Each structure stands twice: as structure tokens, then as C-alpha cells.
Structure 1
């Protein structure tokens, strides 16, 4: 069932590397230890070119629940020790990243010097492949897509991570409606991609068009300010349908980018808000230090009219949030697993809709201020404040001052619906690969790793499940233990 465990992310100030870590946060356990084969749990299928044409990216379907996943295959055979350590640090961080507008890494496998990273599947395709359809959307929808991208970039930058490769191919739609987007390919340097993936920069017009002047001088540098330049190019493109720097010749294009003189004289700019023009101009400043931060971009007043009309949330889900109790590490892990592997499509859609009722600025995270605005429509000011404080004290476990989508889902999921005998039997059958009617120690550890239980907790929780210490857990024992967790 794959592995997946990492320590929580802390915010860092370093910005010139894909993932900045303090020494104490470096992974304690190597990812590159032989695990079960990925074919044990997944069947590979042909990948639609709309998703990617890169041959190191595969589509896989889970044998246990038929869920589609994307698998990226890293060849580690020729990596140096330092390159392996860099890759491990990046993967451990990515396992902890949970944001509405970032494709989340879910698990990993390691066999025959190959590291398989399993992440969620987005069926809508990437922006480059869908450009004809996207170009027909109204401009306000394009701006909404841009703001979702900036929400993801802000989250990454707050974690000390530069994306480093923002272009049309790195933006994917969750479905064919084109309402919601996610970023992929973040946080890994081009030199490392070249070393362990069948990847190389194609050096084509489309890719170069999004490069900042400084990244053209040093292609391995990943900086947050380079990301802002790339997003400035994207915003310019959404507003005008063409790139700020254009040429049919690659070298001429590079020269134009390095000169950094942006043309705002086209007729299309006559009908664009001057404040929007000023924002684009700042994002495309030749001096990286003069560019705004991702937070300054997304909080620019020009986007303030994006705030949703406040609608009252589902009272039952609000009650789930208020009553939520995270009683144990095992319960949290179990809810995470259910949310990613067993949640029904209609429940996923309903939870997304409820989350968006609270997410007034659509940045993929909930603040106390946003919840207060919603709850003030339902309660008195004093009661609304009490409700919000109670919710944050229970749900915001990492003390970030924000509730991300995964925390929201875990808190609002109908535990009675998913912690019942039928669902737990389904879960047991998924884990019991040999259909013996009992779980071995290995199968239990696979489950815990898939639920992203920290490594130091694995043995403790394995013992918790195996009360009599015989190394086997029967179906009834499993049901009894899991029911007591809820």
C-alpha cells in the first residue's frame, strides 16, 4: 500500500532553494529502502496526453477502490548521496503539503532504484492542452483561475518553497468544468529533475516565455521572486491573450526578457483597469526586489471583488466542526485515510461547496475573520466569536491561524457514516491482500504508513492494534479497535 510519513512543516526564510529545511526537520528515515512493489496495489493505464506527455508520468488505478492516481517515477540509480538526500527532503515536505490548489502527494514506493511518488489525479488536463477551450471563457473566470494559482504560490512561499517552473503545463484543472485548478511540479530543481527523471528543459518558446531574467542567467536557481515574474507573465497573458515578450526566435526572446521592457501600449489595455496594469508592471519588474510578494499580489485591492456572496453553511457540518474532537493520533490518521481513499464523490462535492462558503477570498484556507463574517449572519456577535474560537481551538492543530481544506474535511466528515461496520469491513478487505481473514504485522504497518502516521508512532500504534501480541489481527478485533477510535 505504499509508504508516507513525514514531520510537520515549519515556515522558513530561505528562498533560493526548492525546499528549505532546518537541520532538526530533516527526515530520520530513508525513503530509499525496498518496499512492496507498486504493482501490488495499482494497475498502470495509458495516460491521456491532455494530462501530460512526459513519459515518466503514469496513470495508475487502485486495485482496492478503483481510484485514479498519477505516479511519477524517479530513477535513483545514478544519483549521488547528496542528490538522494535532497530528493528525500523534498518528498518528506511534499507529503505534508495539503492545499486546495496544489496537487497533493499521497504515498511512495521504492523498488529497483526507482522511487514512485503517488499523487491525486486531476482529470481536467493541463492549461496548455486545454488552451483553446480556456481562451473562450469570460475574463473574470480567467482572473479567478489566476487567483487560485496565486493562493497556491503564497502557500508554497510561506513554507519556504519556490515553485520554479510555472508555465501552462504546470497548471491542471481538477475536472472538465475548468472551475478549479491545481499546481503540479513544484519544489524540485531542474538539475535534480534532469538527474533522476527522463526530463530536460525543452528550451522552446512556450517554456522560455515564463522565465524571469535572472533564471535565464542561472537556470538552476529557484527563487520566490522568479515565481512572481512567471505569475506576472501569466496574468498578462490572461488579460491580453498574448505574452508580454514575444519572438519566433528563442535567443531574441531571451534578449527581450532580459531587457525587461514590457509593452502596455496595445489597444487591449485601453479597457483594462489601470490598477491591474500597475500590478502587472510591478510583477514584471526587472529588479526582483521590486516585485511584490505572493501575499501582496493576492491581497491587492483589484481582486477584492472576488469575495463570495456570503451564504449560510450547512448547519450539520457546522455542528461537526464545533463538536470535533481529535482524540488520538490513530483517529486523525484514520480520518485522513478515509478522506483520501473512501469518500464518496457526492460527499466530496458537498464538502467542497461548504468549504467555499467560508473561503470568502478563495485562497484555499479559512481564517477566523472569514468564519466570523459567515457566523455573524447566523448568530449574535458574541456567540459568533465564541463559535469561531471553539472551532479554531479544535481544528487548527498546527496553530497556523488558518484551517486548510484537509483539516476542514477531517473535522466535518460524517464519522457515523464512515466509522460504521460496513465501511470498516470494506477497509479491512482492502488491507487483507491475501484474503486470509487476518491482518499480519506487515499489513498493519502498510496501513499505518498509507495513513501517513509518523515513523516514530508506527510501532506504538501497531502494538495498540495487536492487543494480544500474536502478530495477527482478526476481522472482529479490527472492527472492535477501529470502532473504539471514532
Structure 2
């Protein structure tokens, strides 16, 4: 919480650039080399992220970092082994070079503080230790190797209301623990829950607190964060509190019971409208077979008014969860499992593409952004004014109209001083490039198009996704192909790939900063006279919320 006054330098030395290019340029490598070799220790540190870190304590003194487990926007998670006990853990290593703005730095600092603050709980991953060196921040935590929530559900041949109730109770327990300790999670979604191990009775654990924040009773937040399909209506209105976690948990419960999100659209504005209208569909299959008690809980968790929405305690006291052992154990049917698998796989397809974009663009973007900043900062005072931004965008051929530039300036000017510092400028530039530059998608497309024939065939899609799921479901992959392959020639063209990436809003929010910019922009653009007005494509009328 609070403003971070750390100065993030814009300079990237020539040797740093060269080393970055070397690391990115190896063809045919499935994983990048471990960045903790001696050659990566030479770049200069510009920030100290963890307030209580001791530079003398090195992660290599206690732990051995092994294979890569996963990769995110800011860093890589490695298998981590305690040298003395041989206990296997996970180490989330966050590259300080990728922390572009003060907001990014504060996010990491706060994530470590929150994980250290939360009491030990069977459903929350435990932070074991933190380290910081010149290049990275390391968070050593429990290892969760049991897979994602949806994957476990799909793998089971039998899925019922009772199983959904058990998951819902776990998520509500996590929310209760967070809120009792003054933490609002702000990004509850299925991907942020992993099973500890592959045993049938493995505990489900919340693993990611990167967007979480400390709160005091009555405190309200305005920053738009989270994943679109799981956002509460008050988040879009930019005045919210811990109640948003209950809404997100309600969305997860709805998906668990029927396999699709309750609020869905192809565009950001469509998603926002669906959320704000708050119409919940209980007519589609399998809802007619689901108990009234389960529907009652979903309704009360997705209550638009946060003042009367259930608390975590009330969710846990709801009859459906209190009587979970008596809940129907009749299978909900193959339709739910198929939907969940498709939901999960499409998520992975787009996430894999976005990860490729992030890996290829993060470092090279920053190399050209510095030059753009210098070009636009005509008076060389280290800040870009609105007029300089407008003139600079015209120089580089941007087609943005003046109102859009003004809106962009308002959104990006985090500290509200009327000018953009370097960190704020980085956010604007990446935002614009991701809106306007399909070359980003071209690089991701080539990752899947292994034979470089200009199309993604079924076998290439299967090969790209099998690593994550351990097996393939031909029917589900065929469904994804049918959805993306609009001309029905049995393969995915670049144009179809781009169309997929630009729709299904939830999955293209890989960049935390991008998500903030897009939805902050959307919210400001829709806010009129203190109310939120959206154009309803169905009725053609403006909907005032």
C-alpha cells in the first residue's frame, strides 16, 4: 500500500542489451538458461525491492535451484531444494529488470509482505523465505505439484454438486482467512489455486497474492485490477472493498457448477455491461438439475450491492455448504466436464501465446521505449507533457484522436501531476503497441506454427498444449479448432489467430499493467456525471448504473 518513491532508471547499458539478446536468441531451446549463473550478475542494480532483505544472505547458500516449473510476466518459478533437508520447494524468482514502474515494485514488495503476514493455513501456500540480489527477488514457498483446479476436476470421471461444494468451501475459507487478517485478494480465479500433490485427498491451495492489498475497515480502493470475468461491478465503478473477493468466488462457483462464466462477451465493454447488468442464467444445462440451495448461494455471492452481499463467514454458514456431505452426488454430466476442459485449454492456448509475446517483447521493447521517451521529451527535463505526448505520437504515426490521447494521459498519470515520468511512459507505450501492433501476434503465431507454413494445424496445437495437461482430449481440441478456424479449412491462419487473441477478453490480460490501463481507460470512458453509462447492444439504449 501507499506510494512507492523508488526511482527506476531508464538506462539500459549496452552490455545488458547484448546479454538480453543473447539469452533470447537461442533457437530451438525449450527453456531458457538458469539466470543465476555468474554471467548474469554483472548488471547494475537500480532498486532495492524488499525493505527487510539482507544482501549478505544469498539464496544459493541454502537452496539449489533446479528445473523451471512455470513462467509469468515478471519472472520464473523454479524447483528449489533445501541443501540440508533435501525438501523440495518452489522459488518464484522475479526479474528486477522487468519491474518497469513504481507500481510494479510496490506489487512485489506487498506480495512478499502479505504472504509473510498471513498465518499458516492448509489452503494457502506458505512462504518459507525471501531473498534479493542485484538481479532478482526470490520468494521461496511450498511446492504445489498436484495441478490446477479445473484439470483435477476434468481428470475425475465423476463430478457432482458435492465436489463443487467442497471446492467452494475451500475458496471461502481462504477468503475468510485473508479478510480476517486485513487482506483483500483482488484476483481470485481458478488458475490461482493449485493442489499440493497428486493424491486424491490433496489440499487445494491459493498460490498467488501478486495483486492483493492490505485494507482497513471501511477503506475503499479505486485501482482497477484483476481478471475481467471475475471482476465485481464496484471494481469497474472504482470504489470497492473486500467484498470483491466474494463476487469472484461466486463466479468461480458458477463455473464449477455449469462449466461457463456467468458474465461473458467478446469485448471489454461487453464484459463490463454483462457484469453491471448482473443477469444470471440458471436456465441452460445443467442448471435445471442443480439444487435450489446451490443456486441460492450463487445468487447471494453475485449480489450486485456489496453492502448486502454475503461475507465469507456467511458463505461458510450457508445451508448448501453446511450440508455439503448431503449434497447431490449425482454426476452433473459430461457437458460440464467438457466445458471445463475447453475453458481450461482455451485459457492455456491464449496464455501460451501471450507468454511467447511477453518473452520476446519485454526486453526489446524497453530498448526502443527509452529512445521514444527521449524523442518526445523535447525540453529534456525527464518528463513528458500532454502536448509532447500528442506531438510525439503524431511523429510515430499513431492514429489516436485527441480525446483518446487525453484519456490515455489521464489513465497513465499515476501520481496525477499532469506529466508522465519514465515509468508511466513505459506503460503508455506498451499499451499502445499492444493495441496497434500485430507483429506481437506474429511472433506468438510462429511459436505454434512449427513447420512455418503459415498455419497452425491440429497436431501443432496438440503438441503445444500437451506439455501442460499431460494428455490430450481430441474432442476438446477439435472444439477449439472449430471455434478459432472460422473458414473451416481445418487449420488456423494468422488472421484467425489474431481474431482469437483479440476476443475472449479474459485470456489476453497476461500483462498486469496492460490490464490496469485497459480497464481503467474503459471505466473512465464510460463514467458520465458520476454514474456508469454503457451502450446496451441488445436494446440499443444507454444503461445507467
State TM-score, norm by structure 2: 0.44
Higher relative contact order (CA 8 A, sep 6+): 1
